[in-house]
Amino acid sequence: MKIFKICCLTGLVLFFSLNSAMAHFGMVIPSDNMVMQEDSRRIEMQLSFSHPFEMVGMPLDLPKAFYVVNNGKKTDLLGSLKKIKIMNDDAYTSSFTVNRPGACSFVMEPVPYWEPAEDCFIIHYTKTVVAAFGDDEGWDAEIGLKTEIVPLSKPFGLYATNVFQGIVKLDGKPVPYAEIEVEYFNQDKKAHAPTDYMVAQTIKADQNGVFTYAAPVAGWWGFAALSTSDEKMMHEKEEKDIELGAVIWVKFEDWQVK
């Protein structure tokens, strides 16, 4: 019996340590985040829900909303979504033709995701910004989401080791000392974390909700500021918490020489 209890405790510790390392991220990843005049104007968007460093997918149901905001104009893209598989799980793709200069903010609001391991629902309001034709007006626009990371640094045109800054907002107000999870999109599966502590890094905003992070390598980096909703949802006749995530994806580039 004693050996059984030890095994059970060991298993529980392992289970919770693995789940704490595997942070959830809503993902909106474009094929190009800086569209120039000589480039193709058509970009492909991939929408998923995953653990991006471990490249472990989770099922993404048809989102509640998917749209783009450019020069203050909102265009609904929900009807353009097509179901695909990303990381061996249900996900979506969409094609979009960029016709106007300026920053395009692509936004996904998913339906609530029930996560039994955390005994709560998860809603990640996820966005990424694409700059077009040499014009970046609108890169710092606040979309007005329930919770949102508003960039204070341009979320494109960044070299690896540059810093990215953002302000975390909930209901339009800054969140003092907000906790932000940061994770690398390990697309080629070549990155290796020395310990579980370094799979998803955690930083905190200051008293004004502002955070700063310097990405060590080029690639896509996700920032997820987490909070708990005042509202609850029913699951099997019980009220459960709702984890709200303000997520933004930012791509850092390698330094290049001739």
Any idea which architecture 2-253 has in CATH? Sandwich (2.60)
> By C-alpha distance, which of 170, 166, 194 is closest to 182?
166
Two tokens, residue 38 = 């000589």
DSSP notation for 203-226: EE--TTSEEEEE-SSSEEEEEEEE
- pLDDT tens digits for range 22-38: 688 999 999 999 998 76
**219-240 residue pLDDT tens:** 999 999 999 999 999 999 999 9
Show Cβ contacts of residue 144 under 8 Å, excluding neighbours closer than 6 positions: 172
Per residue of the chain (258 residues), give pLDDT as tens: 444 444 444 343 333 334 444 688 999 999 999 998 766 689 999 999 999 999 999 999 999 999 999 988 999 999 999 999 999 999 999 999 998 889 999 999 999 999 998 999 999 999 999 999 888 899 999 999 999 999 999 999 999 999 999 999 999 999 999 999 999 999 999 999 999 999 999 999 999 999 999 999 999 999 999 999 999 999 999 999 999 999 999 999 999 998
